[in-house]
Structure 1
Amino acid sequence: MQHLPLPPSSRRGFIGLLSGFSQILLQSHPGCGLLVLLAIAAGAPALLGGALLGGLSSMLTAQRRGYPQADIDIGLYGYNGILLGMLVSITFAWSPTLPLLIIVTGGLSSLILAPWMQRLRERHWLPAFTFPFVGLSWLMLALAAPLQLQVQPSPLPLLSDLDWLNVVAAPLRGLGQVIFLDQPLAGLCLLSGLLLADRRAALWALLGSASGLSLALYLGWPQHGALAGLYGYNAALAGIALSQVHRRPWAPLLGILLALLVQPGFTVLGLPALTMPFILACWLINAGQLLLRSTGTMGGRTSED
């Protein structure tokens, strides 16, 4: 039987969807996205449907709204929807409302991201990163009771033994936690995707995740959480994001530290941290750099006057 080639529009959409999966790791690389997709399919197949539905709804919303096709092609209108689809699937018990909730929140993530990106480019706003995902996730959790959504209890990490195998696997588990998985195989898939897209980013991701483990154990944070990678994923994302903008190591190192120090504060606030510590760390460093540049420019003008 002869296989007909996919039409260009379908091929383009498929590549855009894979790029959306790679944008979870702040990359635009279909091969990286495919490895992220495989990590979900192998590690948590029950989450795959929600991830695909969320990614497609956010992409289709962007297309219907006429947002720049170049942004859609590189996955910028996919990753927030993918994360929302996975979060809904893992957080709430199944009901007929869940697919509709994924579609709505995926579409809303694009509606939030578009004006933000426009202001980023025109007025130099701070980047949104995964803020649409975080904000909509907090809103869903707050509205769970009115929407009659049953929150499933999160399984507690079972890791407790501080042996060499758990310590070695913990940084990979930290990478896997980016997509809600505490499995070393998932982390290995994500690390392979990063190596395929950007080796420097892969090294910073691994360093960030390992730093989360080290600091958590040093400060006496819950050991089971540290070994499960719960303190690694925000630091890993901060390392990736800041290493792409700053060639000198001080910025990603500081971002990793800030993400780790900010994360416990969300427990005090009674909010799930999700990826907000990584976002705040990057915002603080970017805002500080903009302030220094502004101060330097003003000082230069003053000296010239």
Structure 2
Amino acid sequence: MDWSLSIDKAIPRPLRVIFRGVGQVFFCCNAVTGLIFLIALYVGGITAGIAATVGVISSTVAAYLLGFSEDDIDAGLYGFNGTLVGPCLFLFLENTPQLWLYVVLAAVLSTVVLAALMRILQPYNIPASTSPFVLTCWMFLVAVYAFDGFSRGPVLPPPGIPADIAAASVVSTEFAAFTQASAEAWYTAIAKGIGEVMFADSIIVGILFLTGIAITSLRGAFMAFSGAVVGVAVPVLLGADKTLIEMGLYAFNPVLTMMAVGWVFLKPSTGSAILALLAGILTIICQAGLASFLAPIGLPTLTFPFVLVMWMFLFATSKSKYWGNA
């Protein structure tokens, strides 16, 4: 929206770059949107908000010091991976004073990994997106086993062999019935699905995120909302774990996939919207498969299902006569 862009340009450059870095988590190069996202994180939890702030500042400052592209830095492209690194490490590892140093180091590394992947993917016109965040966090989560000063948090899944979900965990008629309870279950799962993109298990945070996206683009907000709906409906139809659906853990990857395919990287059209829907559905299958694949080493999938599906669709569409020149 024009008014938000005017405010964006009026914000002092250092703050504008930081806020844009937070906004780029949802592909929004808008400082107003990024500020709303950051406020939402603090609403969801002070620690998560501080961790995201430390992460985005560390990764952005590292990009400046390493002499990377000024245009990319100004657009916030070196900030969003660092934004995600902070809350991720505080979610999956035990909260200790040393963990703040861990966050800074991980955020800096995410900047280096992003620059390397941008160089590798540049000839193919494919974005690195959140892959630096994923690779960096996987490395740091596994590395804690080698250091006495760090330990796993209760949320990080223990290594184990994948097993069928228990019958009691399979989704019930709660999402299928036309009742007030069913409507509340859908509303909760959809809102949390959007919030979980930044590890926020909160309805209000999800609503604030969607509001921030809408300020930048109504189509972007529609794609995010549609991705969250797909991330609830498809797991319900496939009989996924009820708890995971209710927490929005099947929804946050389709949110990003549908935004990327249906709004950001392909020309917005009815065709790209349909393609985004297909990509969103396949992201859920990919997430389930990756979760089982990573179970033996006790790592979460994070946003890697989104990254894989987005890459495959963008590579594929580059060969298509309909989307090849998008």
TM-score between both structures, scaled by the size of structure 1: 0.88
Where 2:26 maps in the other structure, the secondary structure is coil
Kindly name which structure, 1 or 2, has the bigger radius of gyration based on alpha carbons.
1
| Residue in 1 that maps onto 2:59 | 58
Q: Cα distance, 1:118 vs. partner?
A: 3.4
| Residue in 2 that maps onto 1:135 | 135
Give the percent of matched residue pairs that are identical in Structure 1 and Structure 2.
28
Q: Which amino acid aligns with 2:108?
A: G
Rounded Cα–Cα distance in structure 1 between residues aligned with 2:56 and 2:187: 32
- Given that 1:54 and 1:106 are in contact with CA atoms closer than 8 Å, whether structure 2 keeps it comes out as yes
| Residue in 1 that maps onto 2:310 | 282
- Given that 1:21 and 1:33 are in contact with CA atoms closer than 8 Å, whether structure 2 keeps it comes out as yes
2:286 maps to 1:258: no
List aligned pairs for 1:79-94, cutoff 5 A. Answer: 79-94=80-95
Instruction: Note the residue ranges of structure 1 that are not aligned, 5 or more in a row.
Output: 1-7, 297-305
List aligned pairs for 1:71-110, cutoff 5 A. Answer: 71-110=72-111
TM-score between both structures, scaled by the size of structure 2: 0.82
Q: Given the alignment, which residue of 203, 227, 233 partners 2:252?
A: 233
Q: Cα distance, 1:147 vs. partner?
A: 2.1
Q: Deviations over 1:135-158 (max 9, x none)?
A: 01111121111123211112999x
Q: Deviations over 1:149-178 (max 9, x none)?
A: 211112999x99652212222111100000
Where 1:24 maps in the other structure, the secondary structure is helix
| Residue in 1 that maps onto 2:4 | none
Q: Which amino acid aligns with 2:14?
A: G
Where 1:18 maps in the other structure, the secondary structure is helix
- Given that 2:34 and 2:212 are in contact with CA atoms closer than 8 Å, whether structure 1 keeps it comes out as yes
List aligned pairs for 1:111-190, cutoff 5 A. Answer: 111-121=112-122, 123-148=123-148, 149-154=150-155, 162=175, 163=181, 164-190=183-209
Supply the RMSD in Å over aligned alpha carbons.
2.3
- Given that 1:241 and 1:282 are in contact with CA atoms closer than 8 Å, whether structure 2 keeps it comes out as yes
Q: Cα distance, 1:106 vs. partner?
A: 0.8
> Bigger CA drift: 193-202 or 111-120?
111-120
Where 1:110 maps in the other structure, the secondary structure is helix
Rounded Cα–Cα distance in structure 1 between residues aligned with 2:290 and 2:156: 19
- Given that 1:119 and 1:125 are in contact with CA atoms closer than 8 Å, whether structure 2 keeps it comes out as no
2:248 maps to 1:224: no
| Residue in 1 that maps onto 2:265 | 245
- Given that 2:89 and 2:141 are in contact with CA atoms closer than 8 Å, whether structure 1 keeps it comes out as no
Q: Cα distance, 1:73 vs. partner?
A: 1.2
Paired positions, count:
285
Rounded Cα–Cα distance in structure 1 between residues aligned with 2:97 and 2:156: 23
Q: Cα distance, 1:253 vs. partner?
A: 1.3
